[in-house]
Amino acid sequence: MALQSLDIKQRSATTTPAPSVRQTTEVAKLIDVSACIGCKACQAACMEWNDIRDEVGINTGVYDNPVDLTAKSWTVMRFAEVEEGGRLQWLIRKDGCMHCADPGCLKACPAPGAIVQYANGVVDFHQENCIGCGYCVTGCPFNVPRISKDDGKAYKCSLCSDRVAVGQAPACAKACPTGAIQYGSKSDMKDYAAKRIADLNERGFAKAGLYDPAGVGGTHVMYVLHHADRPQLYNGLPADPGISPLVSLWKGFAKPLASLAIGAVALGSLFHYVMKGPNEVSKDMEKEVEKETEQ
Amino acid sequence: MIRDPKDLQRYTPQERANHWVVGISFILLALSGLAFFHPAFYPLSYLFGGGTWARILHPYIGVFMAFFFVLMFLRFRMLNVMTKTDKEWLSRVGEMVDGDDHNMPEQGKYNGGQKAMFWASVVCMVLLLVSGVLIWQAQFSPPIGLVRLGAVVHAVAAVAMIALILIHAYAAIWVKGTIRAMWYGTVTRAWAKQHHRAWYREVTGK
């Protein structure tokens, strides 16, 4: 609820255009996985700024803590141990909402205004409009939204939309001690990534690259990956994410057509009645049966 | 109330009550479900106390309806077995729709169209129940692929069911003297002889 309505680009379950007179700069967060040391300062900053404390979990034998994203943990460091060229590589990915340009959650959401996309690219959940159906979960190609067991509402990273709205960097970017999380305009972030990738290429990571998947129209959280050819190495980051065709079918052109078909059946019935008249018992039949019954 | 002692009993009180429990549940489900189907219908959720309440109530009403639908299925399934005559009736349904049913093949308690409606709604109900469980995120969390499939199947089956029930209701309105069978259980002898002659003979012996 940080930005005003003038900055809304898309609104869930809304079929008319959003206010669009004002154009704002597209922003992005760049996560340089090659510079991440897995300190979890971003996780701590996230819970600090958003003032949310998750329940204390359990240790499952790996560094991931909490084990998964939850309604109260909007970002999680995922640690993958991968053997590459006879060397162990520790690939640490900060997981959370990718803020897709074409957000599957927003597309799937049936509640007007429960999910919005701001003109700067941030995708935000407005919990006061959320009905808790979980459709956003089916729409998301990255498995990010979580439904709270306490209140039945959906939660995820807001890209600190309240901070971003007043020109501040997201809390995680502010807290990162190695500069692995950068924040700025999307084009600046791409320039910064290009430099990092060139550096990684020189240092033996020939396949280093930027993760800004076209299948979801690009994202407003991007990764610099040492192995951009195999994003799955990073705890199953999808290589070619996209909104499931089932969701597109379910939320696409089929629904207006089906609504029209239902209307046509109802109207067709009315006009059938008007044009053919009711199907009544004929007078002859009444007489015939009367005679029969008297016998 | 007995309007005419010669009238024929078509439905028992239990059958009628069962039908209307299912019917009322269906109306509530259609209204609350349409609210999530397309934004144009979202205001229907206010009939249930808002979007969140509609989301909470819809699946419980669904389970309730499914239970009574099964009872109704058990009551009527033997009467809805398709026969050769039913198939012939269905192949000539155009004449019926055109408003002239005098030459239609002789029908028992239900005609081919009614039987087709019965089986189509059974299929829809099964699909709706199974897919509904898959997308009931407050109670279940199946694999995401199944949830996505469930959402599509639920929407398709729901549209089919709404269209079927509209046709079902219209047929009852169109064929005069039919609705009373589901209100208070009886039909006139002339109605029975015109529309369901074989059944008429069976119950009257004429």
Summarize pLDDT for B61-108 with one digit per residue, the tens.
999 999 999 999 999 999 999 999 999 999 999 999 988 777 889 999
Q: What ipTM goes with this model?
A: 0.90
Q: How far apart are CA A16 and CA B75, in angstroms?
A: 48
Q: How confident is the model at residue A18 (pLDDT cuts 50, 70, 90)?
A: confident
pLDDT exceeds cutoff 90 at A251: no
Fold of A5-243: Alpha-Beta Plaits (3.30.70)
Residue B172: closest CA among chain A residues belongs to which residue?
A279
Q: How far apart are CA A230 and CA A280, in angstroms?
A: 72
The predicted structure's pLDDT at residue A294: 78
pTM: 0.92
- Nearest CA to CA, how far is A255 from chain B (Å)? 7
Q: What is the mean pLDDT of residues B112-125?
A: 97
Q: Which residues of A165-177 are buried (b: 16+ CB within 10 A; e: fewer)?
A: beeebbbbbbbbe
Q: How confident is the model at residue A22 (pLDDT cuts 50, 70, 90)?
A: confident
pLDDT exceeds cutoff 80 at A271: yes
Inter-chain residue contact B194 with A110, CB threshold 8 Å: no
Q: How far apart are CA A276 and CA B95, in angstroms?
A: 12
Residue A293: closest CA among chain B residues belongs to which residue?
B6
The predicted structure's pLDDT at residue A2: 46
Which residues 70-129 of A have a C-beta within 8 angstroms of B?
A: 110-112, 129
The predicted structure's pLDDT at residue A4: 63
Report whether A118 contacts A101 (CB < 8 A): no
C-alpha distances (whole Å) from A14 to each of A17, A19, A46, A112, A210 are 8, 12, 30, 6, 33
- Catalytic (active site) residue B168: yes
Helix (H, G, I), strand (E, B) or coil at A238: coil
Summarize pLDDT for A133-191 with one digit per residue, the tens.
999 999 999 999 999 999 999 999 999 999 998 899 999 999 999 999 999 999 999 99
Q: How far apart are CA A99 and CA A83, in angstroms?
A: 30
Which residues 228-287 of A have a C-beta within 8 angstroms of B?
A: 244, 246-247, 249-250, 254-256, 258-259, 261-262, 265-266, 269, 272-273, 276-282, 285-286
Report chain A residues whose CB lies below 8 A from the CB of B191.
281
The predicted structure's pLDDT at residue B102: 78
Domain boundaries, chain A: 5-243, 253-294
Q: What contacts B15, CB < 8 A, 6 or more positions away?
A: B72, B75
Summarize pLDDT for A193-202 with one digit per residue, the tens.
999 999 999 9
| Annotated catalytic residue within B102, B168, B195, B196 | B168
Summarize pLDDT for B4-16 with one digit per residue, the tens.
889 999 999 999 9
